[in-house]
Structure 1
Amino acid sequence: DGDLVVVEAPATGAGRVVEASDEVGLDGLVLENRQLLVQLGEDGSVTRVLHKASGRETLAAPGNRLELYDDRPVEFDAWDIDPFHLETRVDCAPADSFAVRTQTALRCEIAFVRAIGERSRLTQVVRLDAESPYVEFHTTVDWHEEHKLLKTCFPLDVRAPTATYEMQFGYAERPTHFSTSWDRARYEVPGHRFADLSEHGFGATLLTDSKYGYSCYGNELRISLLRAPKSPDPDADLGTHTFAYALLPHAGGWREAGVVAAGLRFNVPVRWCATAPPVPLAAVDDPNLVLDTVKRAEDSDALVLRLYEAHGARGRARVRLGIPFTEAITANLLEDDGEALVVEGDEVLMPYRPHQIVTLKIR
């Protein structure tokens, strides 16, 4: 019926509606739940994010700073971002207005409207949910700039020589300084669902649902949001864009904080359906392993599970299946049969190595 509820659900199975153990409150421009206190500015910035469990302030300066850069690559207009764009930063104008969009026990939202550049408008809804460990920024942009690059910047109260970026089936670390020519050449980093800056004991992550360019210099972590190239398509990227990102402060490093799982939850919300199996299709007891793919084999009726080790760890996991089966074997990416694995009841015992991509065939 459209009401917001709290759901408890396993990764690949049916969930259930549960009673909320937390509420979110709104006082002026301050949003607060059990985990976070978030203070917003009238200009649309975030002036404070307190991580209650650790007592740490997340920001060293106001965050969610929207920035415009000149974006005129020497060669490939739609493909390259050249380093001299870093010298052309202009902060976007502050928000024209703001209004409370939602105020309930489970969700509070404040919407900001502002001009971006010369011809564009942005509406951004800042959201904090009950029990949520991150503050979300749901953004709609009517984009009509030319040769401009839009970024958002979060100056973090974190100091580290490298930042971490999710990539396909793993992660990459890149320096946060320009000490050498090699470091300077890595001013823009491709990534998937998150970028993280962590020091010993505390860190902060930016989650995204559809953005794949990041950068970090010093303590300033950025997401590249929109570009406006004119070649080969003069109308490329013009029009309405809708996307979301979130700021997730956490105790410990990104591995201990479960950032990979948080990125997945941010990108793949719970789906409502009329019926569902009583037990999960598959489950893994080890947080280092991610079950990425479930499919039918290309040349048989076997079920194929593809997992990857996400943290650089080594160990032995148990994969529990919710369907009957008689054997489990390893396979390569072409699904050629490998070695038989030990099966104990409805569980498969699976050893794994750091950064390994594991393919299982279930019969």
Structure 2
Amino acid sequence: MSERTRIHMIGNAHLDPVWLWQWQEGYAEIKATFRSALDRMKEFPDFIFTCAGAAYYEWVEENAPEMFEEIRERVKEGRWVIVGGWWIQPDCNLPSGESFARHSLYSQRYFKEKFGVTANVGYNVDSFGHHGMLPQILKKSGMDYYVFMRPGQHEKEMDKDLFWWQSADGSRVMTFRIPFSYGNWWKTGDAVVEKTRAVAALADEHGHGYMNFYGVGNHGGGPTIANLHSVHKLQEELGADRIALSSPNRYFAEMSEMYSDTIPVHSDDLQHHASGCYSTHSESKADNRRSEHRLLTSEKFSTLAHQLLALPYPSQKLQQGWKNVMFNHFHDIMGGCSIKEAYRDAREAYGESLQIAAVTLNAALQKISWSIDTMKEGITPLSKDKDWVLWEQDDKGIPLVVFNPHSWDIAAPVQVNKNVAGVTDENGTPILAQRVRGSRTNGSEDKYDTLFMGHIPALGYRVYWLYRDKQQEAEASSLVLHAEDNVLENDYIRLELEAHTGYIKKLTDKRLGLDVLSGNGAVPIVIDEHDSDTWSHGIFQFRNEIAKFADAEIRLMERGPLRARLRVTSRYNRSVLRQDFILYHDRPEIEVQVKLDWREEHKMLKLSFPVNVEQPKATYEIPYGHIERPTNGEEEPGQQWLDVTGLATGTSQTYGLSVLNDSKYSSDVLDNDLRLTVVRSPIFADHFGVRDEWCEFMDQGVQEFKYGLVPHAGGWQDAQVAQKAYELNVPPVSIVETYHEGSLPQSFAGIQVSSDQIIATAFKKAEDGDGYILRCYETSGREATTSIAIPMLGRKWDAAFGACEIKTFRIPLSAADEVIENNLIEF
């Protein structure tokens, strides 16, 4: 029986490169820990060391190459075991789906290149929660197994610590939850001995083998000489068959052979440990969202510019941008629980990534726009006689190139940094435009921009023409847009704001004659959380309401044929909340631009939307998927959207409201009340310490973000909520051009995807070979068949997607070679 309940002793050093210290200290500690592990191998021939985190290996490679070579020899020997397959141990809820793919792509390829192996065990022993699409991402990254520790049994009861974990597409990985700790923590006596005894008791109780992790952790250190003597003592007492110096690889190999048909299947995500971490430190979370999207947008247009115009593809620069972002995904950085100085470092790293993405994106867009044929008859060499901003000649207009990074055609507002008299499309058809306030105040007139609605092809561009003085008589819209002091209304919806409070008094869906909300909406609720540490350990609901923002001023800021804007400014204590409610003439959704000046301590701010439905169901976007969760008021992590759908009160009509966001990751739903978490202000890295006058609080000052309200009949899938969330996060980009000849037309579509359920998120040059990589995923939770075409490559193919399935296509440059499916690491 001892072999079937073997205790696999996992020598490791949990390494937080950043937490209560900065990354430079983590850098030094990783080298010292690796040296210590190598020393143990010389002293104890049976010692095996397990370590994750490609970033750590790269640091050692660049700074201690002799030690790196020593590690390579130990990997070949099988005593140094590489696990994880990711850049670091990230927060496993907040990075985007594509970010998880990049962790696998860059890390597994690094391990293969440097050590000749890839990790087959996913390894996130300290991450605070684990989203439900991870099994598919792990499987498609070459990892069949997963090990974690949080949430523990006291936070999430589970029948077994060994189970199959299955994602919505049906992918499953054998998963083990570490009992007690990933290191030497124990209450009394010899920690290794006493914890091993407790783990052995669990193994006997559950009837299968267990892993027992040992070694000094968090700040590194790893197994000590005393630890290994303790292990040998246990082997003498209980037998070497029962207590084995081992690795996760060996453990899972044995468990797969013995128990693969008998362990339970878990089909939910793995939450909760630190519910407050999904709303701490708003700046780093906003920088993360922006960096992820900008890098992807740069890759897409760098690919177009490379293929169409031979612009060199900036692989190394973009990879460096991703490395910074992946490092900042580390769970104590992304989770908002590190020291203040660590967030200055994070800001610098995100800044470099954003700049890399901006520079490479600009190079691609400018290369494309400069190559479009915009010449008009009668134009002589360029001369700026007419205007100090525009190169227009003879009232012929000047080209504006608008780019769409999404894999579907979009209709989106385009704001031009110039007040012009008219706008046309590339065919000369006048376009309805509106004068709106710009961000400058340069004299009496040079403070206005021009707004129009652009219709831009998928992953492509379209040229519009701007006329400084020449009026373009656009056909008036048949759609009504009405605005007054506290009302916005179009043909689809009517929004009425309540005087004095500024809350939504009534939101009516005119298409069905339904009230969207059962009470006031967009209510800014202040929550007291003096009893919480930075992580909110042990707290799963935030319901201690102490106040609401009120004393509101409502002002009509814009009113035109295309959009209208009401600004609500409300207050609480010294904090000021400004919400601009924006309604466009042609859509049944509301965009809200928010500016918050937050001056509160130990408090949280939520925006409440009580959806007017019965039998509500809450669906959250998670990385590369979605998940339905109970409407029990527990704080939950999510990505770009959250939906509550049920039966419209008193009817049999399926109805719902989706709330989109551009930088927020936390929310809750209690019955029908959807609450978006805006900000928390705990003390930096406060683990229930002694609070004194030296403590500093997070998120003090001004932050800006956007959210969107999408009322919909039927399910959220019918309203294309996933696409709308992407559009809120990634608006079109435009460049004012001039006259020149070129090889490209004035309208171009880079991709065609026939199914609305499929979104293409990444289009990039392959890591090896001369082809391209296109990654797509199914968004609605339903099987789909789609045709995909890349016209510039002369390619078209059909693909069948399962529910929530991610597919990676390798497109060889030679049309004689078929498009094939790859895994996430492009193997």
1:176 positional shift: 1.2
Separation (CA, whole Å) in 1 of partners of 2:715 and 2:516: 14
1:28 positional shift: 2.8
| Residues 616 and 644 in structure 2, CA contact (< 8 A), matched pair in contact too | no
Separation (CA, whole Å) in 1 of partners of 2:538 and 2:674: 17
Is 2:562 the counterpart of 1:106? Answer: yes
1:71 positional shift: 2.2
- What CA deviation, in whole Å up to 9, does each residue of 1:68-104 have, x standing for no partner? 1112455x41565823632x11231313422111111
1:235 positional shift: 3.9
Residue aligning to 2:634: 187
Is 2:709 the counterpart of 1:247? Answer: yes
- What CA deviation, in whole Å up to 9, does each residue of 1:179-221 have, x standing for no partner? xxxxxxx701111111111125211111111111111111101
The 1:300–1:160 alpha-carbon spacing in structure 2 relative to 1, beyond 3 Å, is farther
The one-letter code of the counterpart of 2:669 is C
1:223 positional shift: 0.1
Separation (CA, whole Å) in 2 of partners of 1:79 and 1:290: 35
Separation (CA, whole Å) in 2 of partners of 1:225 and 1:89: 15
Residue aligning to 2:799: 350
1:226 positional shift: 0.5
| Residues 279 and 322 in structure 1, CA contact (< 8 A), matched pair in contact too | no
The 1:84–1:219 alpha-carbon spacing in structure 2 relative to 1, beyond 3 Å, is closer
Separation (CA, whole Å) in 1 of partners of 2:711 and 2:552: 28
The one-letter code of the counterpart of 2:583 is L
The alignment partner of 1:323 has SS state of helix
The one-letter code of the counterpart of 2:571 is A
Is 2:83 the counterpart of 1:83? Answer: no
Separation (CA, whole Å) in 2 of partners of 1:299 and 1:145: 51
TM-score of the superposed pair, with normalisation by structure 1: 0.85
TM-score of the superposed pair, with normalisation by structure 2: 0.39
Aligned residue among 656, 669, 672 for 1:216? 669
The 1:123–1:299 alpha-carbon spacing in structure 2 relative to 1, beyond 3 Å, is same
Matches within 5 A, 1:300-315: 300-315=769-784
Separation (CA, whole Å) in 1 of partners of 2:806 and 2:640: 18
1:125 positional shift: 1.3
Aligned residue among 248, 262, 265 for 2:727? 265
The 1:115–1:356 alpha-carbon spacing in structure 2 relative to 1, beyond 3 Å, is same
The one-letter code of the counterpart of 2:702 is T
| Residues 21 and 131 in structure 1, CA contact (< 8 A), matched pair in contact too | no
Aligned residue among 439, 444, 454 for 1:7? 454
The 1:53–1:16 alpha-carbon spacing in structure 2 relative to 1, beyond 3 Å, is farther
1:293 positional shift: 0.8
| Residues 554 and 566 in structure 2, CA contact (< 8 A), matched pair in contact too | yes
Separation (CA, whole Å) in 2 of partners of 1:256 and 1:26: 28
Is 2:97 the counterpart of 1:97? Answer: no
Matches within 5 A, 1:1-363: 1=418, 2-15=449-462, 20-42=477-499, 43-72=501-530, 74=532, 76-78=533-535, 80=537, 82-83=539-540, 85-86=542-543, 88-116=544-572, 118-177=573-632, 187-199=634-646, 201-232=654-685, 234-274=696-736, 278-325=747-794, 346-363=795-812
- What CA deviation, in whole Å up to 9, does each residue of 1:133-165 have, x standing for no partner? 211221111112111110000111112342001
The one-letter code of the counterpart of 2:588 is P
Structure having the larger proportion of residues in helix:
2
The 1:70–1:81 alpha-carbon spacing in structure 2 relative to 1, beyond 3 Å, is farther
The 1:230–1:290 alpha-carbon spacing in structure 2 relative to 1, beyond 3 Å, is same
The 1:158–1:110 alpha-carbon spacing in structure 2 relative to 1, beyond 3 Å, is same
- What CA deviation, in whole Å up to 9, does each residue of 1:293-314 have, x standing for no partner? 1111111221110001111111
The one-letter code of the counterpart of 1:163 is A
Separation (CA, whole Å) in 1 of partners of 2:808 and 2:540: 40
Separation (CA, whole Å) in 1 of partners of 2:710 and 2:463: 25
Separation (CA, whole Å) in 2 of partners of 1:21 and 1:349: 39
The 1:247–1:164 alpha-carbon spacing in structure 2 relative to 1, beyond 3 Å, is same
The 1:165–1:149 alpha-carbon spacing in structure 2 relative to 1, beyond 3 Å, is same
1:132 positional shift: 2.3
The 1:81–1:13 alpha-carbon spacing in structure 2 relative to 1, beyond 3 Å, is farther
The alignment partner of 2:684 has SS state of coil
1:65 positional shift: 0.8
Residue aligning to 1:334: none
Residue aligning to 1:342: none
The one-letter code of the counterpart of 2:519 is A
Separation (CA, whole Å) in 2 of partners of 1:283 and 1:127: 31
The 1:95–1:103 alpha-carbon spacing in structure 2 relative to 1, beyond 3 Å, is farther
1:27 positional shift: 2.7
- Percent identity reads 28
The 1:80–1:300 alpha-carbon spacing in structure 2 relative to 1, beyond 3 Å, is farther
Residue aligning to 2:256: none
The one-letter code of the counterpart of 1:105 is P
1:283 positional shift: 2.1
Separation (CA, whole Å) in 1 of partners of 2:793 and 2:530: 58
Residue aligning to 1:331: none
Separation (CA, whole Å) in 2 of partners of 1:308 and 1:78: 32
The one-letter code of the counterpart of 1:199 is G
Cα RMSD (Å) of the superposition? 2.1
The one-letter code of the counterpart of 1:280 is A
- What CA deviation, in whole Å up to 9, does each residue of 1:18-58 have, x standing for no partner? 96553421133111112111111112111111112222110
The one-letter code of the counterpart of 1:124 is Q
The one-letter code of the counterpart of 1:123 is R
| Residues 78 and 231 in structure 1, CA contact (< 8 A), matched pair in contact too | no
The alignment partner of 1:256 has SS state of helix
- What CA deviation, in whole Å up to 9, does each residue of 1:272-299 have, x standing for no partner? 1357864321121101111111111111
The one-letter code of the counterpart of 2:539 is D
Q: Runs of 5+ in structure 1 lacking a partner?
A: 178-185, 326-345
- What CA deviation, in whole Å up to 9, does each residue of 1:318-352 have, x standing for no partner? 00112125xxxxxxxxxxxxxxxxxxxx4111111
Q: Choose 1 or 2 for highest CA Rg.
A: 2
The alignment partner of 1:95 has SS state of strand
